[in-house]
Structure 1
Amino acid sequence: MELIKKYGNRKLYHTNAKQYITLHGIAKLIRAGSDVRVVDNVTGEDLTVQTLSQILLNNKGRRSGPLPIPLLSDLIQTSGETLSQMRRNLFQSLGGNQIVEAEIRLRLEHLLDEGKISEELCQRMGQLLLNDSGHAHAENLPDRSDVERLKGQVEQLANLVEQLLQDK
């Protein structure tokens, strides 16, 4: 854990390295995978959230561009929401739906090209997975527990098919 003390003059002191550090320096530590904690030198109050928020806002003009307004609004509104809902909002705000849509189309085309499904089945699956406008149903995106449950069901089906083939 990298401990940073914030002084009354707004200077930041990296206690592990025994030197002053800038917000940019803290951002570098985080990008390198370090856990960082920022505390007020006098009161010991945890200032990590405020400092990291300041780093995010200061980075808006740099290479990644500003954070999308819908994302910032969602973060403010999530005070009573579950982490899962917040994750879905973040996913949507960052354009994750387009990634999912493209992946669905790619996998369906691959199955069709390999002859594993018919054209009719490909279209039907596309209709089930994508809405009429060709976009994935964002509100129905699975979470980790859904995926794990589906993996178990697929495994059971695979075992059943294998058993049926052996019985033939």
Structure 2
Amino acid sequence: MAGQTRLIKKYPNRRLYDTALSCYITLADVRDLVLNQDEFQVIDAKTGDDLTRSILLQIILEAESGGAPMFTSDVLAQMIRFYGNAMQGFMGRYLENNIGAFTETQAKLQEQAKSLYGENSPISNDLWTQFLNFQGPAMQSMMGTYMEQSKRMFVQMQEQLDAQTRNIFNGFQFPGVPTDAAGGDKT
């Protein structure tokens, strides 16, 4: 079934039916599909609407509610504020690109570990936890450097946007707004 998208139907009684296995599954089973990187799509059995994002958000909600959450309340509140904001699309792409870069880095670390320990060595979550605990300060320093670079990039981007905006509007005469020396006389 490699390469084929698994179809899961959600019924009005909120049950999830895996058409590949011909049985009902739980949200935990869908989470396992995500962890195993299996492609799937969840549709409403009645309307055919795609519910995949909704189910993924439910999985995140469950994970955030139990144990150690990934996001603070402040981060979640800020994410909510981006919806409907002019920066919504930009922020979505920013998060997607950064998560992609992080995932790529993680994959490279795993490849390096395989090259050191061989193809058959089990690289489990426990091993990664031990590694990150041992390398904690170095990893925090690396992430701090990355965040500083990202912050500088945002400041530079804001400065470029400000300059472009000034250049665009510099040629326009707005009533009651003085123009600069390059644009003519000041009133």
Could you state the TM-score of these two structures normalised by the residue count of structure 1?
0.51
Say yes or no: does 1:40 pair with 2:44.
yes
Correspondent of 1:85 among 64, 86, 94:
94
Rounded Cα–Cα distance in structure 2 between residues aligned with 1:83 and 1:41 = 29
Deviates more, 1:59-68 or 1:43-52: 59-68
**Would the alpha carbon gap of residues 25 and 139 (structure 1) be closer, same or farther in structure 2, given more than 3 Å must change?**
same
* Cα contact 1:4–1:15 (8 A) shared by 2: yes
Deviations along 1:37-58, one digit per CA (max 9) or x if unpaired, are: 1000011000011111011101
Which of 31, 52, 56 aligns to 2:56? It is 52
In structure 2, what is the equivalent of residue 140 of structure 1?
152
Q: CA deviation at 1:102?
A: 1.4
The amino acid of 1:80's aligned partner reads G
For normalisation by structure 2, the TM-score amounts to 0.46
**Contact map agreement 1:23 1:55 (CA 8 A) in 2:** yes
Which structure's relative contact order is higher, taking Cα pairs within 8 Å and 6+ residues apart? 1
Deviations 1:8-51 (A, max 9, x none): 11110011111101001100111011122100001100001111
Query: What amino acid is the match of 1:35?
Result: E
- Which ranges in structure 2 are unaligned for 5 or more consecutive residues? 101-136, 155-187
User: Structure 1 residues 83 and 100, CA, compared in 2 at 3 Å: closer, same or farther?
Assistant: farther
DSSP-derived class of the 1:136 partner? helix
Aligned amino acid, residue 42 of structure 1:
K
Give the 3 Å change call, closer, same or farther, for CA 8–83 of structure 1 in structure 2: closer
Supply the RMSD in Å over aligned alpha carbons.
3.6
Give distance in 2, aligned partners of 1:9 and 1:15.
Answer: 17
Question: Is the CA contact 1:74–1:86 (under 8 Å) kept in the aligned structure 2?
Answer: no
Q: Say whether the 8 Å CA contact 1:100–1:136 is kept in structure 2.
A: no
Partners of 1:54 and 1:13 lie apart in 2 by 16
Consecutive unaligned residues in structure 1, runs of 5 or more: 92-97, 106-128, 143-168
